Amino acid sequence: MTRCLLLLLAMTASILAACTAREPSPGDATPPSAPARHLYVFAGHSASPGAGGHMHTPVTDSSQPSDFLAVIDVDSSSPTYAQVLQVLHTGDRGSMPHHTEMVMPDSGWPFAANAYLAEATYLIDVRQPTAPVLAGRIDPVPGHRYPHSFARLPNGDLLGTYQFGDGRMKGDPGALARFTRDGKLIQFRSAADSAFAGQALRTYSLDVSPATDLVLTTSVAMDPTDTTSADVVQLWRLSDLTLLRTMALPKSVGGSTSRYPFEVRFLPDGRHALLNTYYCGFYLLSGLDGSTPSVEPVLSLSHPQHIGCAVPLLVGRWWIVPVASTREYHVYEVSDPRRPRRRSVLAADSSFEPHWIARDPGSDRLVMTAEGPQPGVRLARFDTATGALTWDNRFRERADGAPGIRFDRATWPDGHAGRAAPHGAIFSRR
């Protein structure tokens, strides 16, 4: 009888484990053993380098090729490893290709790629990995303009941030919107908050915690001449997009490192989150599922030496942050998020200006893109046991060439030539 009971309990535990298994997320410390074979990089032709990973002088000449998605071979066993295999043109020129999703969606759903200046977000189908196609665009959001960042929900829906309204409300606040996986608008809510009436609430980045039914958004104006954007983070209810609270960042000494709250990431419990500003201030958000959430500074890098703390990556207990001004990637251990401890620094050369970083869920590889003096894409390796971040020097187009792939090229696969600014990048799924 006892033996039967033990067997029954073991079977029940096995069934429960199978039912609760999930796909890997960007923050998982241990990836599955299925490295990506392809990398997709969203890029636009430009006449001059980007500024802080953002604005660049666009090419609008109709005789020039349109902006595009580059398909890169990242299968180290392939004879075309580290080569640009194909480009998919969007048909828009000078659109400022910007953020993609961070992780490829499940089930063959198309991924979102935002062309900021075109006010367009494409859905890109990569079921044929080396022959991607445009599957459409997401719907416009009435009364709001300039979509920026997108996050995928477990059922395939997309959440997106919008930076501006239609100019009829003082401060012209942005919005948060929800779409079906094929881009149909479901609902949207303005970022306007009477407690911050008239302020420029420029809804920028976002992160989602389905477990606690919460969304966080930051506030930064993409236009570098717009210095009026409010230094706030906003907390929303995911299920109906109700704005729950707008929280101002505590001002740092001199009001520098608290400027431009840039990117935010939930910690695994869904009750806490980490945020970095563009001016390299770091903040912990606590009690997000309670009645009194708070924002507290936990670290600041010297300013103005450190500017351009950009798109971060949270991997287990590690927080990886690109720093544009110093051409570095900083790795912090955040087991105690109130006391981040820097564990390693990966330096790039002076021509590579860090901004975007994303992870291959099936390996220890990270992709880094840079729009700066020498635009390009590189891969790095991250050791989740030690926090060590190193360049993957095998990833290069020519054995005697520089690491990575240059985006200032004599020729592209479709025969055109010239400089392009790479921004969002996303690994394929096996």
d(CA 135, CA 111): 9
Beta strand spans in 104-240 (E): 111-115, 120-125, 133-137, 145-152, 158-164, 175-179, 185-190, 203-209, 214-219, 232-237
Beta strand spans in 239-280 (E): 243-248, 261-266, 273-277
The whole-number pLDDT of residue 224 equals: 59
**Residue pLDDT, tens place only, 247-276:** 999 987 666 899 999 999 999 999 999 999
**Residue pLDDT, tens place only, 281-295:** 999 999 999 999 999
Which backbone phi and psi does 10 adopt, to 5 degrees? -65, -40
| Residue ranges of domains in the chain, CATH in brackets | 148-297 (2.120.10.30)
Q: For residue 55, give Cα distances in angstroms to 117, 224, 310.
A: 10, 8, 14
The whole-number pLDDT of residue 341 equals: 97
* Per-position b or e across 131-155, b if 16+ CB within 10 A of its CB: ebebbebbbebeebbbbbbbbbbee
The whole-number pLDDT of residue 146 equals: 95
Q: Report the chain (430 residues): mean pLDDT per 10 consecutive residues.
A: 38 34 42 84 69 43 81 97 96 94 93 96 97 97 97 97 95 97 98 97 98 97 78 98 97 82 97 97 97 96 93 97 97 97 96 95 96 92 98 94 91 89 94
pTM: 0.89
The whole-number pLDDT of residue 271 equals: 97
Comparing CA positions, the residue from 288, 250, 294, 257 lying closest to residue 272 is 288
Judged on CB neighbours under 10 Å (0-12, 13-18, 19+), 54 is: buried
